[in-house]
Structure 1
Amino acid sequence: MSEVFHRIRRLPPYVFAHIDPIKAKARAEGVDIIDLGMGNPDMPTPEHIVAKLQETVKDPRTHRYSTSRGIPGLRKAQASYYGRRFGVKLNPETQVVATLGSKEGFANMASAITAPGDVVLVPNPTYPIHSFGFIMSGGVVRSMPADPGEDFMRALDRGVRHSIPKPIALVLNYPANPTAYTADLDFYTEVVKYCKANDILILSDLAYSEIYFDEKDPPPSILQVPGAIDISVEFTSMSKTYSMPGWRVGFAVGNERLIAALARVKSYLDYGAFTPIQVAAVAALNGSDDVIEEVRKVYKHRRDVMVESFGRSGWTIPVPKATMFAWAPIPPQFAHLGSLEFAKLLIQETGVGVAPGVGFGEYGDQYIRLAFVENEQRIRQAARNIKKLLGTKGDQGNVVPLKA
């Protein structure tokens, strides 16, 4: 009875499980860890959203079971958001489902549509649930480029022609986690045309739709493409937009058949988020966009501070156009270590926590993901600590560990 269960065997050890004990040990020894690893927003949820939660929770009627699809007001609020932001008209009764964060929605959609052996095209590197949602459901993942550049469509065509059986779905994620790549409507239009012609579903993760830094070029929704809703579902989240990560509120919107499949699976698994949380989420979606603009402003400032201070320390950070992350190549003198060992080294020698790129796929192993989840002073301190390490030649034997 000691044999590992079938689905667990398909999951590799979580890369961050190698990092967390090192951070914990350093903290226990008194080291001040500047943690840029997890994309866990540090800004408080706006006051009016919290106030609505407090008001609603006092009503004992809200303490009962909710509904797995989301309360009607929340689905209507999400449909209204899509109308305002993207000009996309959605039926809140049939084309919107509230989820327990976009991660849960994505995993349950994978479970709803995947038969054992089904092939799915997934970016590499990408957010882990994009791959492992399908792997846990018995599917087979074929890697696609994460960059929506000129090679993407050629890779898509190869993936379709050379996969047996033919892929059932394509995963897209722009603005992308971890790479911060962005896509435009021309790209989406070409992808939708190809997928419709080849009977392939599209699952689009738009969790970072509101964390962008060029006000003239906000990220589009794939549902803006005429006909995209025939084959597409899009996932969004309130975690980053409203600094509500622990509230676990997200959405799946789009094709009625796919939404119905997700809703049916969810009906067996949960009763939805606590009703006061859903009511507060309605207040967020129907409220002023000023709070979103403030969140965006903070992340933009932190991005600029990181790019400037890390650059002066000797680590060139590409400037992301969106998301709360920078996707940075490992400094050349440490490239031989790979991302996991370099991440361990950073914690041990500089007290800076980062996310190793290999945790997002094998093609991320020469990169590090840095999250904008510390304030300006802490980011600058991280840069100063890293500068000392980069002054070495990459020989771990010559590095003096950071002391408490």
Structure 2
Amino acid sequence: MLFAKRLETLSTNVFAVMDRAKAQARANGKEIIDLSLGSSDLPPSRHVIAAIEQSLQDSKTYGYLLYHGTQAFRVAVAQWYSNRFGIPVDPETEVLSLIGSQEGTAHLPLALLNPGDFALLLDPGYPSHYGGVYLAGGQMYPMPLAAENDFLPVFEDIPSPVLAQARMMVLSYPHNPTTATAPLTFFEKAVAFCRKHQIVLVHDFPYCDIYFQETAPPPSILQADTTKEISIEFFTFSKSYNMGGFRIGFAIGNAEIIKALQQIKTVVDFNQYLGILNGAIAALQGTQEPVIQTVATFKKRRDAFIEALHSIGWQVPTPKATMYVWAKLPPPWTDKSVEFCTQLALATGVAVSPGSGFGKSGEGYVRFALVQEPEVLKIAVEKIASFL
């Protein structure tokens, strides 16, 4: 049987390798401590679940949900955003509901790129950003992120021939996997750069709430592009509201870009069940105390994990945001992140993500997801110490 050649690039990746390593370790009797996936282990708030439960009793919610059926959700999103960032948003033209923000980031290249056009992507960066460009037939120009530049891209290093064919730039701060944050001045520079070169500026913003007291609240890209001239921003309920499995997110931004993404979405899917949108409305409009508690939980885990790593001599910086720790590998593993992670899983049952899975510039690092309680994280570090 013959399949499309585009599947060849998608057939293997380091996360599939890690999945096999976890399965083999489990088969060998190892108890798995999985710190490899950024899937929150915390539950959604009770008032969110109650809104979904109430929807289940209403037979009017059972049918297909088309665009106009999402109006109440879009209005709630626009009000939340305006209250949060002080920028007015038109819910009719500048908001689009999504089946998770990954749907939007993966499908947007289909609306922006012709075959051969360049997308400027963070390296390391979130894998779906690369996958969407590949499926759209675009070329990828990785913008290397280095510790000496605070894991921010250097726009001046992008070659002129690439800029001449570039149609979109994707940023994402607070950043997965490096945990870096970016000030508003950086976004203002990015907006000016993209405006000069006529590039659509895309900001993936899943960790807008997951920041700690050591840093200022992360800015929205639209605070740098207040007229929404060239920008679109993606949000998710997976991190702030622990609703990853519900697959609910949204995009806000330039009306023409939103309309173009909506055209792609119309071909691919309808929307998710209306009850999920009702739960998301409850999350946005209800008390935000659960978000505060979620951040406090991740801060407690971060502090315990960093202290444990330091106690075994693995010096890593303390992240100011996200639910991860980005750690430079010690010798002799400094350029063997996949081998380190697979061998660690097989030997100890502790699973982490290799930095090379996020891009070439991620080699030499590993990412730990803080999705276990502090006691379990300390046990994981003990196992890592024995492996090292």
TM-score range relative to shorter protein: over 0.9
**Alpha-carbon contact 2:214-2:320 (below 8 Å) kept:** no
Q: Which runs of 5+ in 2 are unaligned?
A: none
AA aligned opposite 1:340: V
**Map 1:62-101 → 2, pairs under 5 A:** 62-68=61-67, 71-101=70-100
Secondary structure, counterpart of 2:121 in structure 1: strand
Are the aligned partners of 1:23 and 1:33 in contact in 2 as well (CA < 8 Å)? yes
Alignment-derived partner of residue 231 in structure 1: 230
* Contact 1:68 1:270 survives alignment (8 Å): no
Unaligned runs of 5+ in 1: 391-404
Residues 1:19 and 2:18 aligned together: yes
Quote the sequence identity (%). Answer: 38
- The aligned counterpart of 1:258 is 257
Q: Distance in 1 between matches of 2:162 and 2:169?
A: 13
What does residue 173 of structure 1 align with?
172
Aligned partner of 1:213 in structure 2 is 212
Check the 8 A contact 1:78/1:285 in 2, yes or no.
yes
Whole-angstrom distance in 2 between the partners of 1:48 and 1:154: 40
State TM-score, norm by structure 2: 0.95
Superposed CA offset, 1:253-289 (max 9, x none): 1000000001111112111011100111100011111
Task: Kindly state the Cα deviation for residue 215 of structure 1 after the two structures are TM-superposed.
Answer: 6.6
Q: How does 1:4-43 map to 2 (within 5 A)?
A: 4-11=3-10, 13-43=12-42
Give the conservation status (yes or no) of the 8 Å contact 1:70–1:97: no
CA shift for structure 1 position 21: 1.5
Matched, 1:355 2:353: yes
**Counterpart residue type for residue 332 of structure 1:** P
How many Å separate the matches in 2 of 1:351 and 1:334? 18
Q: Give the 5 Å matches for 1:285-364.
A: 285-336=284-335, 338-364=336-362
In structure 2, what is the Cα distance between the partners aligned to 1:136 and 1:69?
29
**Residues 299, 153 of structure 1: CA spacing in aligned structure 2 closer, same or farther, 3 A cutoff?**
closer
Deviation of 1:147 after TM superposition, in Å, equals 5.4
CA 1:146 to 1:70, structure 2 compared with 1: closer, same or farther past 3 Å? farther
CA contact (8 A) 1:148 1:187 kept: no
| Separation in 1, partners of 2:39, 2:225 | 35
| Superposed displacement of residue 362, structure 1 | 1.1
Aligned to 1:271: 270
- Please report how far the alpha carbon of residue 216 of structure 1 lies from its aligned counterpart in structure 2 after TM superposition: 5.8
Q: Partner of 2:378 in structure 1?
A: 380
Which 10-residue stretch deviates more, 230-239 or 20-29? 20-29
Q: TM-score, normalised by structure 1?
A: 0.92
Q: Return the offset for 1:312.
A: 0.8
Name the residue aligned to 1:281. 280
- The secondary structure found in structure 1 opposite 2:366 is strand
1:201 deviation in Å?
0.9
CA RMSD of the aligned region, Å? 1.9
Shift of 1:334: 2.4
| Residue identity in the other structure for 1:179 | T
Count of residues in correspondence between the two structures: 388
Distance 1:24-1:257 versus aligned 2 partners, 3 A rule: same
Residues 1:106 and 2:113 aligned together: no
Per the alignment, residue 52 of structure 1 pairs with: 51
Deviations 1:278-305 (A, max 9, x none): 1111000111110110000000110111
**What is the Cα deviation at residue 319 of structure 1?**
0.9
